[in-house]
């Protein structure tokens, strides 16, 4: 069931009767799903923007039980799923923070940025975790794609957490990858700089030039 839900979500095809059937059949059987099944199921419902409170509550409880078995990708996907659903499940999110903190060196750039974005989206302020994300991100910043750069700078700005060395690293990486930045990412980085009161003239000049080049692609 979880693979079927994942497949439909992956291609963004919403078949509500199918998803309702999966939800109803899954609820009494979640203990059979295992780590990957739980992650796939919660991600699928979030990706398709289906808010199913009873299923989400049950998935949260099961994810909490399975959290010691989660890898870094699982942690990032679970965090993203609850953020995308707008569900601030504090026991689970606090457990995710505790699980992520000692293992951040194992996170890839995308997983790290997704985790930061997810916690910030739900306004979960965890200073030790964000300090660790900042220090772990800097050496890997050249591995960050445009989406990861945008997510990371937005996450720190959303919580008004200014880490100067990280912002300098993001600035250099963003200027090196300007052509890859979408209008949304250009806007997010500009917003983050303004929110954190960072006057980075080289980056601002670059963002302005790239925004002019892509201005027709911006939403109103």
> pLDDT 10s digit of each residue in the chain, 220 long?
899 999 999 999 999 999 999 999 999 999 999 999 999 999 999 999 999 999 999 999 999 999 999 999 999 999 999 999 988 888 999 999 999 999 998 999 999 999 999 999 999 888 999 999 999 999 999 999 999 999 999 999 999 998 999 999 999 999 998 899 999 999 999 999 999 999 999 999 999 999 999 999 999 8
Rounded to the nearest 10 degrees, what angle do helices 90-100 and 53-66 cross at? 30
- State the sign of the Cα–Cα–Cα–Cα dihedral 159, 164, 168, 173: negative
Report how far apart, in Å, the C-alpha atoms of 53 and of each of 56, 58, 87, 101, 149 are: 5, 9, 9, 28, 32
Which run of H or of E encompasses 34? Answer: helix 34-47
What pTM does this model have? Answer: 0.89
């Amino acid at each position: 069931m979880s693979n079927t839900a994942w497949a439909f979500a992956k291609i963004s095809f919403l078949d509500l009767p199918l998803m309702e059937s999966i939800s109803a059949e899954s609820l009494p059987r979640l203990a059979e799903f295992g780590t990957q099944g739980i992650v796939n199921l919660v991600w699928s419902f979030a990706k398709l923007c289906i808010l199913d409170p009873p299923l989400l509550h049950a998935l949260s409880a099961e994810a909490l039980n399975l959290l010691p078995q989660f890898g870094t990708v699982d942690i990032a996907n679970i965090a993203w799923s609850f953020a995308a659903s707008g569900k601030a499940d504090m026991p689970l999110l606090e457990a995710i923070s505790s699980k992520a903190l000692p293992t951040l060196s194992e996170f890839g750039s995308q997983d790290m940025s997704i985790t930061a974005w997810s916690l910030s989206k739900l306004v979960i302020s965890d200073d030790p975790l964000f300090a660790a994300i900042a220090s772990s991100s800097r050496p890997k910043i050249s591995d960050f794609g445009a989406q990861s750069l945008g997510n990371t700078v937005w996450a720190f700005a959303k919580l008004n957490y200014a880490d100067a060395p990280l912002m300098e690293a993001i600035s250099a990486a963003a200027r090196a990858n300007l052509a890859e930045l979408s209008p949304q990412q250009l806007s997010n980085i500009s917003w983050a700089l303004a929110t954190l009161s960072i006057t980075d003239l080289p980056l601002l000049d670059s963002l302005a030039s790239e925004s002019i080049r892509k201005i027709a692609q911006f939403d109103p």
